[in-house]
Amino acid sequence: MEHATLRDSAARARLVAVAADLFYRKGVPNVGINEIIDAAAIARMTLYHHFASKDDLVLAVLAQRCAERQQGFAGAITRPRTARAKVIAAFEHLANVAAHPGYRGCAFVNAAAERADPDNAVHQLVAGHKTWIAAQFEVIARAGKWPRPRLVAQQLLVLWDGAAVGAYLCGNVEPVVAARAAAISLMPATRRR
């Protein structure tokens, strides 16, 4: 085995963490290489040793964030037992995230907004993340034996993204709360007939 790997170097990890923070807070194009290496206290060449280019770093940052987000999502929906409760928990999870000060909307949506071309790796990673969320919703819907699980999942995703955008733009969690309520309306009513 090679020794210190190159994949899990401490420098690399700090680089990704610092860049993730800066990229999210200020927007990818507004953060230069110099700023990143200064904030991370890392030599310039170390960055280019681990990443071929800034784009490469952006991609790594997004990939990690993707893993984190999906982990958080999955964690939020495991506890509740019913399908209905799982969906509600998911939106409450989003509310918690969006309530955090400095929330600037979905990092993936923002990243996609900045990178224009649709065949870009960033764009595809973002699309993949969204597809994953929709798939999660669809699994829940099927487990609950809801009618039209695909459609419901898609609608829940729309609510999800719209809530994130809204929470960012108006600076509070109201849109997420509204989206949660809308999600409840969209789900089949608890059977009581």
Partner DNA sequence: CACTGTATAGACCGATCGGTACAATCCTGG
Partner DNA sequence: CCAGGATTGTACCGATCGGTCTATACAGTG
Residue ranges in contact with DNA by CB under 7 A: 1-6, 9-12, 31-35, 41-46, 48-50, 53-55
Find the binder of a copy of itself among 30, 53, 71, 96 (CB under 8 A).
30
Least distance CB 25 / a copy of itself (angstroms): 6
Per partner kind, with CB cut-offs from 5 to 8 A, the member of DNA, a copy of itself, none near residue 54 is DNA
Pick the closest to residue 126 from 109, 106, 113, 114 (CA basis).
Answer: 109
Asked if residue 84 lies in contact with residue 187, where contact means CB atoms within 8 angstroms, the answer is yes
Tokens representing 98 are 């969006």
C-alpha distance from residue 56 to each of 5, 70, 72, 120, 121 (Å): 18, 21, 24, 12, 10
Per-residue contact flags (x/-) with a copy of itself for residues 66 to 105, judged by CB under 8 A: --------------------------------------xx
Q: Which of residues 156-175 bind a copy of itself (CB under 8 A)?
A: 157-163, 165-166, 168-171, 174-175
Least distance CB 181 / a copy of itself (angstroms): 7
Residues 6+ apart with CB under 8 A from 40: 11, 14, 15, 17, 18, 19
